[in-house]
Structure 1
Amino acid sequence: MKYKKSFGEKLFDIFVYILLTLLMFATFYPIYNIFVASISSVSEIAKHGSLMLYPRDITFDTYKAVFQNELILKGLRNTTFYVVLGTSINMILTTFAAYGLSRKWLKGRKIIMFGIVLTMFFSGGLIPSFMIVQKLGMYNTIWALLLPGAMSAWNLIMMRTYFMGLPVSLEESARIDGANDFQILFRVILPTSKPILAVMVLFYAVGHWNSWFSASIFLQNRELYPLQLILREILIQGRVADFGGNAANVTHQVAKNLKYATIIVSTIPILIIYPFIQKYFVKGVMLGSLKE
């Protein structure tokens, strides 16, 4: 029998569609506007303003300037390295910790979890963190960006909850066949946990990709700067001289165009990756937050 919606339900659906459409527009248009401005000529932007519905007098000169800038290319390489290595460290530590804390045979796991959750509400602060990094010899090295935040308490809780929701019979069957904990984790638990693993990879990777604050505190060597810190210098400090020449012969509008192009270059990689793991992302968030 086909269910017929009442007038109130139809009205509510219309309201939801309108609200989601407005939210989609509010989210999409800033990125679209920056892209349009980045490929429009300087004269057209000066004539019509930055807010344009379509590109005018299309040119890719600003993108050529961005990709010819050695500092940005080096920042892109550094960020890619930080994302790959950092996410690998994050996933290894989070997976092992979540599996151990999800097993009932681990003694004191509730006390350990309480200590982990406590770190979500209280932290040492910036100065103690800086002193620890400096005393451990990690200051002005890549490890200052990777090790202090090697594991997220929130991500650990999500993965632990997911592991606890898996059927106990899977582990029991594996133990009957003589499997140890490493074999159970890698051959039984992880193959059935692709959704939550995809979510964790996305969370950690995006976090590393967008990270700039830690680099601004712990790094002095510009050769180690991630792309986002370089982008911050271009946007806030107006370092247009890094694109060649000097700031005196670069107009304000040209500087804005360079900023637009740099923003697009730093955003596109994550936008390209996300659609391929979206199905795992939605499923992983739901299953990782529920336990039957």
Structure 2
Amino acid sequence: MTTAVGSTRRDPRRRGGRPVWDEQPTRIGQTAKGVLVGLVLLAVLFPLWVVVVTSFSTADAITRAGGLVIVPDGFSLGAYAELLSGSVVTRSVLVSTGVTVVGTLFSTVVTLLAAYGLSRPGSFLHRPLLFMVLLTFLFGPGLIPTYLLVNSLGLLDTYAALVLPGAVAAFNLVVLRSFFMNLPQEVIDSARIDGASEFGVLTRIVLPLSKGVTAVIALFYGVGYWNAFFNAFLYLNSNDKWPLQLVLRTYVLQGQSIPGASAVDSTLTGTGGVVATLAIKMAVIVLAVIPVLVVYPFVQKHFTKGVIVGAIKG
């Protein structure tokens, strides 16, 4: 094959015919990657370190540091003792925990049932229902219509308003449906020949084969419920029903004082009585972050097996 005069041909293969992208990285490249990863980790871990250290610091240490504490200087559990002694933060932790557990269980079960039904080609109203689900990717219901619907159903100032409006996420449903459609049809047909009902096929055949993707979907829902605050901001009128994230937004991000923070014990008062509120606010942030950090590593291994495999095959 001839080429024009003066033109050059770049061969992407070097060193024994391997592509450029398949070559062993150089020492400089490895060092650069290590430095970049280290900087990213530092950018992520340093703020978390400062928040945790400040939450365990005494008022005098916070005063000497002029605010956020970087180097540990004294240790105190006073902020956590204050938050977990029956204050508004204690109630908000219980509310967030209850809403997260109930909401995750409810949303996961409903999404599993809907995804399995939509994955069967001959199911009732298969195409119209699937079209309605896919339509939500393009058009949202809007804030005002959603509020009017919640109000007309009598859900205002109830915990149900934190769960029902967003009980099913279209993305999660589509991922589950795609995964179910790629399960071996022979196994499902053999179960039906043995006399299993559709519910039996789902519980005895499909779900045991879908533990990974189910765990990932449950994690998505759990993190969403735990971090949600906007629904509570819209639909809850009573402060004693606030979840932890709304307390975090109100008393930490907006700078309002936490009720009862002035009655902090002697480890937080004294020369830093005014600054001691900072330790309480940092402790609220720690309480809001810990559950996700604890649960996430146990489900992370299922990501590749669950969501990515289902999405590629779908």
| Fold match (TM-score > 0.5) | yes
Separation (CA, whole Å) in 2 of partners of 1:143 and 1:26: 38
- 1:109-128 equivalence runs, <5 A: 109-128=126-145
Higher gyration radius (CA) = 2
State the partner residue of 1:21.
38
C-alpha deviation, 1:107, in angstroms: 6.0
Residues 1:253 and 2:259 are matched in the alignment: no
Residues 1:278 and 2:295 are matched in the alignment: no
Separation (CA, whole Å) in 2 of partners of 1:74 and 1:119: 35
- 1:1-292 equivalence runs, <5 A: 6=23, 8=25, 12-50=29-67, 52-106=69-123, 109-245=126-262, 251-291=273-313
Amino acid at match of 1:287: V
C-alpha deviation, 1:282, in angstroms: 3.7
Amino acid at match of 2:283: A
Post-superposition CA distance 1:111-147 (Å, at most 9, x none): 4323212112212311111111111111111111111
Separation (CA, whole Å) in 2 of partners of 1:52 and 1:205: 32
Separation (CA, whole Å) in 1 of partners of 2:161 and 2:124: 33
Asked if 2 retains the 8 angstrom alpha-carbon contact of 1:69 and 1:242, the reply is no
| Matched residue SS, 2:165 | coil
Asked if 1 retains the 8 angstrom alpha-carbon contact of 2:54 and 2:70, the reply is no
C-alpha deviation, 1:278, in angstroms: 2.0
Separation (CA, whole Å) in 1 of partners of 2:203 and 2:231: 33
Asked if 2 retains the 8 angstrom alpha-carbon contact of 1:102 and 1:160, the reply is yes
Q: Gaps (5+ residues) in structure 1?
A: none
Post-superposition CA distance 1:158-192 (Å, at most 9, x none): 11111112111111111121111100000000011
Going from structure 1 to structure 2, the CA distance change for 1:12 and 1:154 (only over 3 Å counts) comes to farther
C-alpha deviation, 1:246, in angstroms: 7.5
Separation (CA, whole Å) in 2 of partners of 1:162 and 1:10: 41
Amino acid at match of 1:228: Q
C-alpha deviation, 1:216, in angstroms: 0.8
Separation (CA, whole Å) in 2 of partners of 1:232 and 1:214: 13
Q: Gaps (5+ residues) in structure 2?
A: 1-17, 265-269
Separation (CA, whole Å) in 1 of partners of 2:32 and 2:175: 32
Separation (CA, whole Å) in 2 of partners of 1:25 and 1:110: 49
Which shows bigger deviation, 97-106 or 208-217? 97-106
Going from structure 1 to structure 2, the CA distance change for 1:202 and 1:169 (only over 3 Å counts) comes to same
Q: Work out the number of aligned pairs and report it.
A: 288
Going from structure 1 to structure 2, the CA distance change for 1:16 and 1:163 (only over 3 Å counts) comes to farther
Question: Please, what TM-score do these two structures have when normalized by structure 1?
Answer: 0.89
Which shows bigger deviation, 114-123 or 99-108? 99-108
Amino acid at match of 1:240: S
In angstroms, what is the RMSD of aligned CA positions? Answer: 2.4
Separation (CA, whole Å) in 2 of partners of 1:175 and 1:49: 70
C-alpha deviation, 1:63, in angstroms: 1.4
Higher fraction of helix: 1
Asked if 1 retains the 8 angstrom alpha-carbon contact of 2:55 and 2:282, the reply is yes
Post-superposition CA distance 1:26-78 (Å, at most 9, x none): 22222121001111223223323455543111222111111124211111111
Which shows bigger deviation, 19-28 or 71-80? 19-28
Going from structure 1 to structure 2, the CA distance change for 1:40 and 1:94 (only over 3 Å counts) comes to same
Going from structure 1 to structure 2, the CA distance change for 1:10 and 1:40 (only over 3 Å counts) comes to same
Amino acid at match of 1:61: G
Amino acid at match of 2:186: S
Identity of aligned residues (%): 35
Going from structure 1 to structure 2, the CA distance change for 1:98 and 1:275 (only over 3 Å counts) comes to same
Separation (CA, whole Å) in 2 of partners of 1:111 and 1:68: 52
